[in-house]
Amino acid sequence: MISTNQFRTGMTIRYENDTYRIIEFQHVKPGKGGAFVRTKLKNVSTGRVVERTFRPEQKFDQVRTESRSMTYLYEEPDQVVFMDAQSYEQLALPKSGLEDRLDLMTVNMEVELLFMDGQPFDVELPVFVDLAVTETAPGVRGDTVSGGSKSATLETGASVQVPLFIETGDVIRVDTRTREYNTRI
């Protein structure tokens, strides 16, 4: 059993007879009243994200998970296929659970596949990925000082906001947790 002060991003817990993965959490201590923890939880089986608030004294069962390094191979209409580099075993996950991260994955990318009770249920991407910009509007000379941004489409189809000096063909580093531009490579 764990309490809310032991919450960590990525931790898996049981709540209301379901298994949830903690996406975000924030300890809040208002001026009046007792402290509480505001969380965003992702249902492992359905992929639905819910927001819940808990009292500090609430206890939860922690679900043990394990991760294995896998290689992203390809996607099919309804699933995504990964391969274990040591055993060459191939595993597939439903595409519906990975929609928010699929557009940041490139073929042969190393990812961490998460297992619960021997069954794969989720994927953790590397913190940063390097992707080429395939389409973006040209930067206007003189606008770069104002710190503006523009939309750019990456080689995987993802769309992110980038500084005005980024041009088509540049390779940029994207933070997979926030989907934000980090630096130009």
pLDDT in tens, 125-182: 999 999 999 999 887 665 555 567 889 999 999 999 998 888 999 999 999 888 899 9
pLDDT at 25 over 80: yes
Classified by CATH at the fold level, domain 66-124 comes out as OB fold (Dihydrolipoamide Acetyltransferase, E2P) (2.40.50)
Classified by CATH at the fold level, domain 128-184 comes out as OB fold (Dihydrolipoamide Acetyltransferase, E2P) (2.40.50)
pLDDT in tens, 128-142: 999 999 999 887 665
- In CATH, the number for domain 2-62 is 2.30.30.30
φ and ψ at 5, to 5 degrees?
Answer: -75, -5
**Edge-to-edge order in the sheet of strand 119-124:** 90-94, 79-84, 66-75, 110-116, 119-124
Residue 59, both tokens? 């206890």
| Domains in the chain: boundaries | 2-62, 66-124, 128-184
Q: Do domains 66-124 and 128-184 have the same CATH topology?
A: yes
Tell me how far CA of residue 86 lies from CA of 71, 83, 93, 108, 125, in angstroms: 10, 9, 19, 14, 19
* pTM to 2 decimal places: 0.73
DSSP assignment, residue 57? T
